[in-house]
């Protein structure tokens, strides 16, 4: 094999990975699977796809060796092959944030629609928790919380917030987090909390980012 053939083959294999990720639905699937293993039905429901479409995207990711599968009972669960997959998505996201002004405008416009909600950092969260002035809530679906969550957080799924909000203390700031910087569940939870008279804000990272930083 010549040096040219070697390079063509290597770069071709690497390009197959980037090609598999070059789809907005598949990027969102990677973010979802970073929360924990999920069935195709769960993926379809969370990303608003048909089961057939979700299955197609998962198979594309599997072919590129970005996800793996494991059967439990009658269901097959998909998970990221390893942490490198999420780290690549995180790096892509950060590159896009730094190079694409339209992304930053979209984020700024969305935050403005949510009363200029500015997230807090993990360090600031630690400070407020240590002072006993804050309560951290995880607003992802219960399945994702059970798969892994930030230490000391309380599971209050976004869909249950309206029913459980009365159980949250009003003498503490409520800090909400979800899947990551692009997840809107925490924004919606904070907006609802503020409307009900609570002091609330969101964390600037999700569970996967917290997990990587802790490792």
Residues marked active site are found at 178
| CB within 8 Å of 136: residues ≥ 6 apart | 125, 129, 150, 152, 153, 154, 175, 176, 177, 203
How far, in Å, CA of 195 to CA of 102, rounded?
Answer: 30
User: In 3D, which of 45, 35, 48, 49 has the Cα closest to residue 78?
Assistant: 35
Q: Are 180 and 161 in contact (CB under 8 A)?
A: no
| DSSP bridge pairs for 71 | 76
How far, in Å, CA of 206 to CA of 156, rounded?
Answer: 15
Q: Are 119 and 202 in contact (CB under 8 A)?
A: yes
């Amino acid at each position: 094999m010549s040096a040219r053939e070697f390079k063509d083959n290597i770069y071709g294999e690497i390009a197959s990975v980037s090609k598999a990720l070059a789809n907005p639905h598949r990027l969102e699937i990677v973010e979802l699977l970073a929360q924990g293993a999920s069935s195709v039905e769960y993926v379809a429901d969370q990303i608003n796809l048909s089961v057939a479409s979700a299955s197609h995207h998962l198979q594309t990711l599997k072919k590129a060796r970005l996800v793996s599968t494991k059967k439990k009972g009658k269901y097959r669960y998909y998970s990221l092959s390893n942490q490198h997959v999420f780290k690549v998505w995180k790096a892509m996201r950060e590159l896009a944030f730094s190079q694409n002004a339209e992304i930053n405008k979209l984020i700024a416009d969305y935050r403005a629609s949510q009363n200029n909600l500015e997230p807090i950092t993990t360090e600031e969260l630690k400070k407020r928790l240590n002072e006993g002035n804050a309560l951290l809530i995880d607003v992802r679906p219960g399945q994702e919380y059970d798969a892994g969550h930030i230490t000391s957080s309380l599971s209050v799924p976004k869909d249950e917030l309206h029913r459980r909000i009365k159980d949250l203390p009003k003498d503490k700031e409520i800090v909400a987090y979800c899947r990551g910087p692009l997840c809107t569940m925490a924004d919606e939870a904070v907006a609802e909390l503020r409307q009900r008279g609570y002091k609330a804000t969101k964390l600037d990272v999700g569970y996967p980012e917290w997990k990587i930083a802790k490792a």
